[in-house]
Each structure stands twice: as C-alpha cells, then as structure tokens.
Amino acid sequence: MVRTRTIIPILAAALLLASATLAAEEFESHYSSVAIENCRTVDKAKPGDGEWQVWACEGRAGLAVVRSAADLRETVSIGRSVAAARQEPAANAWFGPFNLAGDTIEWRKEKGAKAPFAVIQRWSVSDSENIDATGRPTPYGLLIVTRLPPGPVCHTAIIDVKENAEPNSLARKIADENARAFRCGTDPVLAAGNRGRAIELIRP
C-alpha cells in the first residue's frame, strides 16, 4: 500500500511534465532583425516638422515590419504591407517614458504552419526619476507580445524582464495560449507574471 501511494503521485507528475513538453513542441520560433541598418526609410520629417522617421523591415511569411521613432519614443507594427502596418493599432501604441525597441523579433507559429500568429520583442523604457552612475535615466526591460493577422495587430501582453526568472518562456506561453483569441480594443493588455518598475513606468 505504501508503495502504491508513492507511485501514484510520481506517475501524475510525469504525466503533467509530458503534457507540458508536448504542448511546447507544438510551437516554434523564428527570428528576424529590425535593426535600422537592415531596414529602409519610408518616411521622415520635413524641415520644421520635428524629428521623426519611419522604417520598413522585412518580416516573416511575407509580412512587413514598420518601425517608427519620434521624440525618443518608438512603435513597431506589422502588416501584409507597409501601408497596412501603418494603419494597425500597434502603430499607435506609444509609451509615455522614453523607450527603445529591440533589434530582434521572435516570431511564434505552430509547427508546420506557414504564417506566424504572434511576435515577441524586447523593449527598454527609461526611468527619468532614477539616474544611473552615468547620469542617464535607468533603463528597464520589457517583453511585449503582439498578435498578428488575421485580425488587427496589437499588443496583447507585457512582461517585466527583471522581475521574472524566465521572461522569455513566459512570453512564449502567453503568446501561444492567448494571442490568437485576443480582441484588440476590447481586451486589456495583460501584465503577465511578477510586476516591477518596468510595468509601473508604462502603467502609472
């Protein structure tokens, strides 16, 4: 009887682990660069019109990535064309603090599928209330999950990099489970996992 009681929990744990492993194997990631040097300028400010610029970068599965910068803040949007990407909700998803989008995008898709359903990108937001040793605002890292077509392109989740032990794994889990069903403009953007200063900065 003692042996049976010991074996049952072990079998249950093994089944749960196998289930989680199987679920992870249903998806895969691919990567692309949105570094400025790998993109082309498609629009920029005219003299006297401030300082802003828009770049088009090559994505995956025929999708275009549009990276925009103005007043030390960025947006990143994705669409079936550059024009379409610039009309998506993500193209207007500005953060209040100064920020910088990372140069690498992770594309999530089901294994064997042609089209990805979400992207994950790292961002840095500046904390002007806390100055570092160099005299500059302290940067904090975020991971942002964005849903892809069909349907609108918008942020679905944000993850505080510093406060979570495995932020990339958490971002993939959220993307895989929630991005496709997320309703842009209706569902609130999820602050997943542990929350720290990075979340406070963009959600005061």
Once rounded to an integer, what is the mean pLDDT over residues 132-155? 95
For 177: left if phi > 0, alpha if psi spans -120 to 50, otherwise beta; the answer is alpha
Res 9: pLDDT: 41
- What pLDDT, on the 0 to 100 scale, is given for residue 117? 98
Bridge partners (DSSP) listed for residue 58: 64
CB 117 within 8 A of CB 151: no
What's the whole-number mean pLDDT along residues 118-135? 94
Q: Is the pLDDT of residue 71 over 60?
A: yes
Residue 110 has pLDDT above 70, yes or no: yes
Q: Write out pLDDT tens, residues 159-181.
A: 999 999 999 999 999 999 999 99
**How many other C-beta atoms can be found within 10 angstroms of the C-beta atom of residue 54?**
22
**pLDDT over threshold 70, residue 196:** yes
Residue 204: per-residue pLDDT:
66
Q: Which of 3-12, 15-24, 41-50, 113-122 has the highest mean pLDDT?
A: 113-122
Whether the link from the prior residue into 150 is cis, omega within 30° of 0, is yes
pLDDT mean over 116-141: 94
Residue in this structure with the two tokens 């806390």, named with its chain if needed: 130
pLDDT at 151 exceeding the cut of 50: yes
Residue 138's contacts (CB-CB under 8 Å, 6 or more residues apart) are 126, 127, 130, 131, 132
With the CA atoms of 48, 36, 141 and 144 taken in that order, what torsion angle do they form, in degrees rounded to the nearest 10?
100
DSSP for residue 45: P
Which residues, in sequence order, are CB contacts of 146 under 8 Å at separation 6+? 76, 78, 90, 118, 119, 120, 121, 153, 154, 155, 156, 179
Over residues 124-136, mean pLDDT? 91
Work out the average pLDDT over 21-46.
88
- Is the confidence at residue 8, as pLDDT, over 80? no
> Across residues 182-189, what is the average pLDDT?
97
